[in-house]
Structure 1
Amino acid sequence: MRKTVPAALAALLFAAAPAPAQTIYQYRDAKGAIHLSNKKLDDQYQPFDYMRLPAGTDENKVLPFIRYYCRRHGLDPNLVRAMVAVESGFAERAVSPKGAGGLMQIMPGTGKDLGLADAFDGSANLEAGIRYMRGLLDAYGDVRLALAAYNAGPGRVPKGGPIPDIPETRDYVAKVMTRAGLR
């Protein structure tokens, strides 16, 4: 099952996509001082990735990123935490049998629509998934329908309901709602 984004929702999500940022480079000298530049002055300067999840990510390392992006996009962090738990079990490199990847299990086509270059970049995956969920909540106006659309694809969930009679989707909505304390 491929999750596709309808044209109107894609336009909304694309408009909400962060503008491409200029790369900032860093170099740490022998005394430990960090030097920053907007140009790679030599081979010692490496890209500065301040919003990268650390290696060996677990739930406790992911939560500050969830809170940050939820605050930025106006979502309940408990909802997103529940989504990540159900989607990937907080495994940054998780891949579903249908090809969805990363913490929020984003399908490649949806990731492309969201401007997600690497589904396994935990921070970028969270930001894209949270932004996508924000768009679905805005479009559907109901958390259950937005979750159903996140799982089954917006083309399979009618506005105004009901949740499609897809066992996987019904189970997903129930699990996330329960974990988020929204039942």
Structure 2
Amino acid sequence: MRKNNRNRFLLILGALSGSILLSLFWAGLCVAGTIFFYKDEHGNMHFTDTPTSAKFRPFISFRSGMSSADRASITRYVERYGAQYGIDPNLILAVIEVESGFNHQAISRAGAQGLMQIMPATQQDLGLVSPFDPQENIEAGIRYLKMLMERFPDITLALAAYNAGPANVERYNGIPPFRETQDYVRKVLSNYDRRKSARN
């Protein structure tokens, strides 16, 4: 009797899981985005559209005209918010290229998300609700970069702070001795110079 009850419970659980996934699928048809998942140590599956750590992996992605991430749209957002916050669009595009390769669904190993790879904790500070929405991510990323540039007038330090955090820049009184951060600053500046030269 107990075995039959257990089997019945598993069947109900499976049906409910299927219904949840179907709901997520139909919701995804209405708005663009990605459903992420991870399997915990107990074998339980967890699904979300706003992952909070790098353990989440893409499960299924949806596209719609509402959240287009084509280069033309990205450039328009960059130019709009670059003008609003007084930052050269060429610099912003250089950051996006190095951060995410223009992939609006990118997630780093550390959990940074979206085009400008913003960490969840920083998202909360910036009031960023939809990190995988290109427009929202770009606006928040540019706003954060502007804050860092005001804090560190030297562009190399502002970029280092964007990558390694402002506390590390202050701790080492310069670019932190991290290979990743040093390579990051070099790549962004190189891309920045290339973009400026191409515009001239």
TM surpasses 0.5: yes
Unaligned runs of 5+ in 2: 1-63
- How far the C-alpha of 1:160 sits from its partner, in A, is 9.2
Q: Against the structure 1 CA distance between its residues 146 and 165, is the aligned structure 2 distance closer, same or farther, given a 3 Å change threshold? A: same
Structure 1 match to 2:193? 181
Of 129, 136, 149, the residue aligned with 2:148 is: 136
Instruction: Give the partner amino acid of 2:161.
Output: A
- Amino acid paired to 2:89: P
2:70 equivalent in structure 1? 58
What do you get for the CA RMSD once the two structures are aligned? 2.1
The answer on 1:110 being equivalent to 2:122 is yes
1:119 to 131, 137, 149: 131
- TM-score by length of structure 2 reads 0.62
**In the alignment, what sits opposite 1:91?**
103
Higher helix share: 2
Distance 1:133 1:115, change over 3 A: same
Task: Look up the equivalent residue of 2:147 and give its one-letter code.
Answer: G
**How many angstroms does 1:118 deviate by?**
1.2
Q: Is the 1:145–1:161 Cα contact (8 Å) retained in structure 2?
A: no
Instruction: Provide the C-alpha distance between the structure 1 equivalents of 2:132 and 2:102, rounded to a whole number of angstroms.
Output: 12
Give the deviation of 1:57 after TM superposition.
Answer: 1.8
Kept in 2: contact 1:111–1:117 (CA 8 A)? yes
- What residue number does 1:69 align with? 81
Report deviation, 1:53: 7.6
Give unmatched runs, 5+ long, in structure 1: 1-51
Q: How many Å apart are 1:56 and its aligned residue? A: 4.7
Equivalent position SS for 2:193: coil
Would you say how many aligned residue pairs link Structure 1 and Structure 2? Answer: 132
Q: CA deviation at 1:162?
A: 1.9
Which structure would you say has the larger RCO, counting Cα contacts within 8 Å and 6 or more residues apart?
1
Call closer, same or farther: CA 1:107–1:138 in 2, change over 3 Å.
same
TM-score by length of structure 1 reads: 0.68
| Residue of structure 2 equivalent to 1:12 | none
What is the CA–CA distance in structure 1 between the aligned matches of 2:184 and 2:95, rounded to whole Å? 9
Q: Report if the CA contact (8 A) 2:95-2:188 is conserved.
A: yes
1:102 alignment partner AA: G
Aligned to 1:171: 183
Deviating above 6 A after TM superposition, structure 1's stretches of 4 or more consecutive aligned residues are none
User: Which residue pairs with 2:112 in the alignment?
Assistant: 100
How far off its partner does 1:58 sit? 2.5
CA distance 1:56–1:117, shift in 2 (3 Å): closer
